[in-house]
Amino acid sequence: MRKPLIIANWKMNHSIEDSLKFITVLQNKLTFKSHAEVVICPPYTALYSLSVLIQEKEGLILGAQNCYYGESGAFTGEISPVFLAELGVSYVIVGHSERRNLFGETDELISQKVQSVLACNMKPIICIGETINERNDGKTLGVIENQLKQAISLVDKKDLGKIVIAYEPIWAIGTKQNATPGQACEAHQHIRGLLVKIANQNLAHEIRIIYGGSVQPTNINELMREKDIDGALIGGASLEVDSFLQMINYHEIK
Ligand code: PGA
């Protein structure tokens, strides 16, 4: 059984103060049921404060939005995965389309980051997804297959069970135009098929494949009802406590 994953990607939003308020309110409202793992990925600046708060009261898991692959050295402005692990970070988003498109991250760089995150005993959330032009040209499955193969090219097969794959069509991110459950499932099934070929059957079926791109309280239930969708990576709609809380309890939304 793959445990559902509900992940908040706050991107460059929420000061330390706002982050602390959010988590305090969320923790008070959460009645922890073990149906899902709930991961919060705040900006780097709030990681330390949240790590203290999250340790005090169980239930939430800390994630980071990015990292570098080197352990230490002359990399001005970068953050080592070792430092993230030291803070109690468990998941790291790697290869988000905003990193690829706005900051020029290449498949090669992403594969190095994935390897380093695993070496620090954290789990990479590997983002893959096509542009609208690629979709319209019928290239979706080829594009995500290529991105995935490259991202995991340096991963030891025995570690494959620790990765999470986030299928995030670029045209769906921040647009309020989510992929339909059918579109998401087609991609997820293709990814699962690929994993079966790369890893063994059992391992491939342990890997969680989550969906991201305009997930909202109004659509999360129909997406999560699909057996091929193991969770959600949520940007905009994770910024408000009540909206995020509704999505954590997606099975209760009518
Ligand atoms: P969105 O972002 O939910 O605002 O579309 C998702 C993401 O970029 O991970």
Q: Mind listing the pLDDT tens digit for each residue in 130-181?
A: 999 999 999 999 999 999 999 999 999 999 999 999 999 999 999 999 999 9
Tell me if 89 is assigned to some domain: yes
Tell me if 101 is assigned to some domain: yes
Give distance in angstroms: CA of 239 to centre of ligand 1. 11
Number of domains in the chain: 1
Give distance in angstroms: CA of 65 to centre of ligand 1. 12
Tell me if 31 is assigned to some domain: no
Q: Which of 37, 98, 130, 168 is catalytic?
A: 168
Tell me if 155 is assigned to some domain: yes
Structural domain span for residue 108: 5-13+36-252
Q: Whose CA is nearest to atom 3 of ligand 1?
A: 235
Name the amino acid, one letter, at 87.
Answer: L
Instruction: Provide residues with CB under 6 Å of ligand 1.
Output: 9, 168, 173-174, 212-215, 233-237
Atom of ligand 1 nearest to the CA of 178: 5
Rounded Cα distance between 94 and 97, Å, is 9
Tell me if 21 is assigned to some domain: no
Atom of ligand 1 nearest to the CA of 173: 5
Q: What is the 3-state secondary structure (H, E, C) of 18-69?
A: HHHHHHHHHHHHCCCCCCCEEEEECCHHHHHHHHHHHHHCCCEEEEECCCCC
**Closest C-alpha among 157, 127, 109 to residue 63:** 127
Atom of ligand 1 nearest to the CA of 212: 6
pTM of the entire structure?
Answer: 0.97
Atom of ligand 1 nearest to the CA of 215: 3
Tell me if 227 is assigned to some domain: yes
Tell me if 214 is assigned to some domain: yes
Rounded Cα distance between 24 and 17, Å, is 11
Q: What is the pLDDT of residues 38-94, one digit of tens each?
A: 999 999 999 999 999 987 667 799 999 999 999 999 999 999 999 999 999 999 999
Q: Is the pLDDT of residue 32 over 70?
A: no
Q: Is the pLDDT of residue 231 over 90?
A: yes
Q: Is the pLDDT of residue 124 over 90?
A: yes
Handedness of CA 231, 168, 213, 89 (dihedral sign): positive
- The domain that contains 243 carries what CATH number? 3.20.20.70
Place of tokens 């919060």: 40
Q: Whose CA is nearest to atom 1 of ligand 1?
A: 235
Q: Whose CA is nearest to atom 2 of ligand 1?
A: 235
Annotated catalytic, 35?
A: no
What's the pLDDT at 34? 62
Q: Which of 14, 37, 96, 134 is catalytic?
A: 96
Tell me if 19 is assigned to some domain: no
